[in-house]
Structure 1
Amino acid sequence: MQREQVQNALAELIDEESGRPFLEAGLIRDVMVNESYVALTLLLHSEESGQEDNYRAKLKEILGKIGVPDVHVRFKVITKQEKDEIASGGGATTPKTARIPAAKQALAPIASPDSGVQFLAIASGKGGVGKSTVTVNLASALHRAGKRVGIIDADIYGFSIPRMLGIEEVRQTDKNNLVPIERYGMHIISTGFFVSEHNPVIWRGPMLGKMLNTFLNEVKWPELDYMIIDLPPGTGDVALDVNRRIPQCSEIIVTTPHATASGVATRAGAMAIQTEHRILGVVENMSYYEDELGKKHYLFGRSGGIQLAERLQTELLAQIPIDTLENEQEDPDFSTSIYKPDTKNGSIYSDLAQQVIKQLDA
């Protein structure tokens, strides 16, 4: 199923209030095209509450004409701000919310301070602390909060974002420019789109810098509010390049409660301080396991995150317990690596997203 076919078919669904197609008006979001189904979010006006079944049937009819066997529709009530933008002509709404890339979108220097994009790097001192898990769950929580989010998987040697989000496509291009792959409302680019998953990446400093430059300057990014960068662990070439190329980038340092992980993470935080990157705070992952009786078991020690925050003179933003992910493989809304908002960890990530928004949008 081609994305362009889906886009053309969706143009038949007209918003009665604005008189424009839902897609053009920015009322259709998060379009996910799969061989077996299409998933999307439809924004409804408050007075249309109760008409979800009608719209679902209409979308199935429209997409059924082009051979889509199944359609998953999520509904959300439009906010007053979004409604006002549409009423005024939708100048800011269409590119802001439409998730199918425009055919002639021009490249812009996304890393420029004038781009309006807030950059946030997720760093750690060592691997295995759940840095990528924090990346995808924070990005997902920001998306749920109404933000337009991109992810750069800058962990060149140990890329894991594609597998975590179930992305199997190869890289996409549009007029010789790279196009990020959209998944769960987020726009992602990764080294994993360029090399086989099981082949080692044997590059040295100059090649690493070239790849980061490609991600920043040769990718046709849509309009974004936040760009989350999943850094490789430690203080190597990629982290140095991010500090040099994106001086306005903020950072969150991820650790486990274990003293070794916390101690090593101090170096990553010290690097951010030396390069004048703003540290928003520390996230302590795998803080404890809570059994069925509510008793907490501290499997990796205690207080590592608190001690790290004190050493870096910042705050502990979240302590995330060990918990299971019970998402179904075919759930169109969530990856098997993303916690749903109604779970304990999902709620913690939602709170973390609000803290990030408060700090970055201040």
Structure 2
Amino acid sequence: MADDRRLKVLSAIVTDYVRTREPVGSRALVERYRLGVSPATIRNDMAVLEDEGYIHQPHTSAGRVPTEKGYRLFVDQIARIKPLSAPERAAITTLLTGEADLEQVVARAVRVLARLTGQLAVVEYPSLRLTALRHLELVALGPTRVLLVIITDTGRVEQRTVVLSGEGADVVDPLALGRLRLRLNSALVGRRAAEAVPILAALSRQAPAEERTLLAAVTSVLLDALRPDAEERFVVAGTANLARSTPDFSALGALLDAIEEQVVLLRLLADAAAEGARSPGAPDGMRVSIGSENRDDALAEASVVTAAYGPGGGDAVAHLGVIGPTRMDYPATMAAVRAVARYLSRFLAGPGEAPA
């Protein structure tokens, strides 16, 4: 079919332009790609693709370059997530070697993702809101201060300081603190954030009067850490990769400034989570947004590839992704993002064979 042939022509134009950053002419397509048709047919197909808005001619007598619409069609209908090379697989495998904890694995993951893709990489820590509690620890720091340590089933550890105030807050009773720790763990271990509010309310009604001030203070800090709009944590690597893409951006400074302030990344991860909720059937929660499809103006000249990860086959507890120019090697980038997401999922699920 002619449409299939034009898709092959578009694929060749995208592939060549991503590799060379030079407008692609019909002669280059004939010389470099086996399209099985005459140069005249290729020129006709390019004319149709241009009329339909998939490619455009940046300068008179120059070749063609893909438009956002062309990249979108390429990603949706042409791009295939190609298998990783042996060196790429080896690089990712190092994520799960040794006795690494969650902090170490996330730090390694973002560096490997930036190196594999040559883009800016961001990896979100598993959300406190979406994971289950494994253990709560209470440690007296002083007469009116207690350290609350929150440990989730993904290995994430958060610390909060509880400051007692009001009547009965002059001294933290170690025995009362120990009893409260036991009651909290008995009631909350294995529970998610959404279940914590009614459980803590019931504990408050049942607590002895002399312990309610301590319980109220700890409850307030714990719920604050688990609230739906609590700021999530993430790590970034490869900012210099964006700087090397300066020719692909007309306003790179605005994007770098926004990333430094973390505003763009917070919105990016929120958008990825929202899209995943709307499209639960998407493989690995994979999402590709191109240019003006991005909600943030700072990403208007960028493409974003994100994926979800989580333990086993359950719900996603976090996201990761890369930001780069629209002139991106989409199949390779999608492969790297998917692979790192799968390895992080396997790490959270526990020991086992690494995913393909």
Shorter-chain TM-score range: under 0.3
The structure with the greater share of residues assigned to strand is: 1
Q: Which has the higher contact order (CA 8 A, sep 6+)?
A: 2
TM-score (norm 1): 0.21
Q: Which has the larger radius of gyration?
A: 2
Would you tell me which structure has more helix in proportion to its own residues? 2
